[in-house]
């Protein structure tokens, strides 16, 4: 996938083509991955594939009260490549200081200390909170206003599917299959700190935020429920076995 080093790309293609002889069919979690498979010659008429999106079950929990003063951004991701929590932290410096916006980071990893240092250097300690590994991401999303994922490359991240399940607007990097999650329910961004900040401000100021949240949940219900994923997967296995 774009963003992965050339040597690793070549290695992965070689392994996939070698294993294709043992493969009846492929399941791709996004149309983006399917197209990559076709372009690389891994997915062929002899070794077909089907797109079955990642799905989750929505957690039923108390929703955040819309009129609460603090506007909460949440990013759930490991602190390691290809995730770019550092860009989201830097983006906060382009927002007016008096805006009641805080950013919650869920996850751990080797880059977390560098991100904590960056937060302190930019005087953002009051606006950034690190929660480490959490048991249930959706519980935290239910008390958030926006789901964010800034990344150098992706397939179709479950963290954003979980954000959809809680009806959150999305701000995410325009990489991999992420565009398949967006339908009038948020923004795709370049990995540019000013552009990220601009979209955060747009959602904060939006008078139609309730409509955007409804759109997110409808996208989830149409394409990303666990039931739909399991049903499609079982049907594809049965087709291949037949």
Q: Express each pLDDT in 199-217 by its tens digit.
A: 999 999 999 999 999 999 9
Residues 16-46: pLDDT tens digits? 989 988 999 999 999 999 999 999 889 999 9
Q: How many CA atoms lie within 13 A of 83 on its CB side?
A: 21
Structural tokens at position 149:
């994922």
Domains, in order of start, for the chain: 6-51 (no CATH), 71-223 (3.40.50.2000)
Between residues 62 and 195, the one the model is more confident about? 195
C-alpha closest to that of 168 among 128, 134, 203, 198? 203
Residues 74-121: pLDDT tens digits? 999 999 999 999 999 999 999 999 999 999 999 999 999 999 999 999
pLDDT beyond 90 at 50: yes
pLDDT beyond 70 at 67: no
Q: How many CA atoms lie within 13 A of 19 on its CB side?
A: 8
pTM over 0.75: yes
Dist CA 98 CA 101 (whole Å): 9
Specify the 3-state DSSP secondary structure of 61: coil
Q: Other CB atoms closer than 10 Å to residue 134's CB: what's the count? A: 14
Dist CA 136 CA 106 (whole Å): 10
- pLDDT at position 135: 92
Q: How far are the Cα atoms of 77, 83, 116, 153, 193 from residue 134, in angstroms, in the given order?
A: 11, 17, 18, 23, 26
The model's confidence at residue 4, banded by pLDDT at 50, 70 and 90, is confident
The DSSP element (H or E) to which 231 belongs, if any, is helix 226-241
Long-range contacts from 36-39, C-beta under 8 angstroms, 24+ separation: 36/1
């Amino acid at each position: 996938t774009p963003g992965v080093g050339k040597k690793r790309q070549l290695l992965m293609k070689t392994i996939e083509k070698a294993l294709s002889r043992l493969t009846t069919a492929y399941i791709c979690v996004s149309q983006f991955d399917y197209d990559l498979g076709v372009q690389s010659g891994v997915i062929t008429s002899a070794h077909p594939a089907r797109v079955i999106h990642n799905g989750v079950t929505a957690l039923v929990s108390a929703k955040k009260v819309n009129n609460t003063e603090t506007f909460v951004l949440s990013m759930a991701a490991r602190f390691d490549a290809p995730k770019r929590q550092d860009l989201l932290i830097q983006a906060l410096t382009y927002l007016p200081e008096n805006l009641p916006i805080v950013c919650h980071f869920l996850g751990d990893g080797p880059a977390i200390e560098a991100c904590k240092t960056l937060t302190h250097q930019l005087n953002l300690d009051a606006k950034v909170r690190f929660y480490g590994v959490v048991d249930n991401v959706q519980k935290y999303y239910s008390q958030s206003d926006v789901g964010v994922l800034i990344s150098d490359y992706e397939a179709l991240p479950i963290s954003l599917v979980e954000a959809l399940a809680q009806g959150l607007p999305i701000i995410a990097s325009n990489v991999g299959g992420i565009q398949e999650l967006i339908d009038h329910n948020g923004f795709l961004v370049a990995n540019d700190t000013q552009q990220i900040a601009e979209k955060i401000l747009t959602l904060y100021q939006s008078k139609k935020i309730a409509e955007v949240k409804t759109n997110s949940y409808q996208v989830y219900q149409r394409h990303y429920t666990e039931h739909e994923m399991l049903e499609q997967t079982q049907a594809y296995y049965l087709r291949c076995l037949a």
